[in-house]
C-alpha cells in the first residue's frame, strides 16, 4: 500500500509510519556521508548533505513512488571513492554505514521498548514499534548484494575483479531483480533474523 492511499484511509497511521520512515532514510544517507567524510572524502559535506533537514535528502521521483506504490528512495549521498584514504576498505565501510545506522536505530527503539515498557498500543509503543521495524527492513533491503544497493558495494570491496565486472553488467537489471525478490518475500527470513538477533542481545543486557 502506498503512503498516499494510507493517508486517505487512515491519516493517523500515515503520520505514525511516514515520520519514522523519513528519518530512518535520512539517518541511513547521513551515515554514508559522515563515514566518507571521516575517511577523507568531503563531497557530501561540501554539498550540505551532512544534515538532518529532510529537504536535503528527498528525491522527487523516489518520494512520488513511495506515496503511490509504497516503495521509494532518497537522494543517494554523493561519495567520491577515489578521495578515500583506502579505496577498497573505504568502499566497504561507507557502504556498510547506512545498514549499520539502521540496525543501531532499530536496537535503540527495541531497547527503549523493553526498558520503558510503554502501554500496548499507546503512542510511544506504536512509534517505537514502527521505527524499529522500518529500520530493520531498510537494513535487510540494503544488504541485498545487487547494484545499486549497498550490499553490492560491500561485496565489490571483497570480490575479485571478475566478480566486480559481473556486478557491473547486471546493474541495468538490478532494479527489476530487486522488485522480483521483494515480490516473492525473500527478505522476510532476514528481517525476522535481524529482529531476533537484536532482541536476543537486548535480553542479555536487560534480562
Which cell numbers hold the place of 157? Answer: 570491496
Name all contacts of 3-7 with Cβ < 8 Å and 24+ positions apart: 3/66, 3/67, 3/70, 4/67, 4/68, 7/67
Whole-number pLDDT of residue 65: 72
- CA dist 90 and 157 (Å) reads 8
Note the pTM of the prediction, 2 decimals.
0.89
Give residue 24's domain range.
3-205
Is the preceding omega at residue 37 within 30 degrees of 0, hence cis?
Answer: no
Residues 6 or more apart whose CB falls under 8 angstroms from that of 103 comprise: 135, 136, 139, 194, 198
Q: Residue-wise pLDDT tens for the chain (207 aa)?
A: 556 676 677 777 778 788 888 889 899 999 999 999 999 999 999 999 999 888 888 888 877 777 776 666 788 899 998 999 998 999 999 999 999 999 999 999 999 999 998 888 888 898 899 999 999 999 999 999 988 899 999 998 898 888 888 888 888 888 788 888 878 888 899 999 999 999 999 999 887
Q: What is the dihedral of CA 134, 137, 143, 147, to 10 degrees?
A: -90
What pLDDT sits at residue 181?
81
Q: How many domains does the chain have?
A: 1
- Specify the pLDDT at position 91: 93
What letter does residue 144 receive in the DSSP assignment? S
Which residue has cell 527478505? 187
Nearest Cα residue to 114 out of 128, 104, 127: 128
d(CA 157, CA 178): 21
Polymer length in residues for the chain: 207
DSSP state of 145: S
Catalytic residues: 29
DSSP states of 61-101: HHHHHHHHHS---BPPPP--GGGSSSHHHHHHHHHHHHHHH
Q: What confidence score (pLDDT) does residue 4 get?
A: 63
Instruction: Work out the angle between the directed axes of helices 87-116 and 123-142 (0-180°, nearest 10).
Output: 160
Amino acid at each position: 500500500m502506498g503512503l498516499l492511499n494510507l493517508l486517505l484511509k487512515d491519516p493517523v497511521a500515515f503520520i505514525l509510519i511516514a515520520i519514522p520512515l523519513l528519518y530512518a532514510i535520512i539517518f541511513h544517507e547521513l551515515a554514508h556521508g559522515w563515514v566518507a567524510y571521516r575517511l577523507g572524502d568531503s563531497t557530501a559535506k561540501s554539498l550540505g548533505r551532512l544534515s538532518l533537514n529532510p529537504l536535503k535528502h528527498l528525491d522527487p521521483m523516489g518520494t512520488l513512488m513511495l506515496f503511490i506504490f509504497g516503495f521509494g528512495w532518497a537522494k543517494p549521498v554523493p561519495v567520491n571513492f577515489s578521495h578515500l584514504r583506502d579505496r577498497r576498505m573505504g568502499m566497504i565501510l561507507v557502504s556498510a554505514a547506512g545498514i549499520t545506522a539502521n540496525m543501531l536505530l532499530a536496537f535503540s527503539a527495541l531497547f527503549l521498548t523493553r526498558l520503558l515498557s510503554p502501554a500496548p498500543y499507546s503512542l510511544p509503543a506504536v512509534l517505537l514499534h514502527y521505527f524499529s521495524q522500518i529500520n530493520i527492513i531498510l537494513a535487510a533491503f540494503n544488504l541485498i548484494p545487487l547494484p545499486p544497493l549497498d550490499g553490492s558495494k560491500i561485496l565489490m570491496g571483497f570480490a575479485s575483479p571478475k566478480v566486480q565486472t559481473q556486478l557491473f553488467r547486471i546493474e541495468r537489471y538490478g532494479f527489476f531483480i530487486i522488485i522480483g525478490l521483494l515480490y516473492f518475500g525473500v527478505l522476510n527470513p532476514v528481517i525476522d533474523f535481524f529482529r531476533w538477533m537484536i532482541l536476543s542481545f537486548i535480553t542479555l543486557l536487560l534480562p
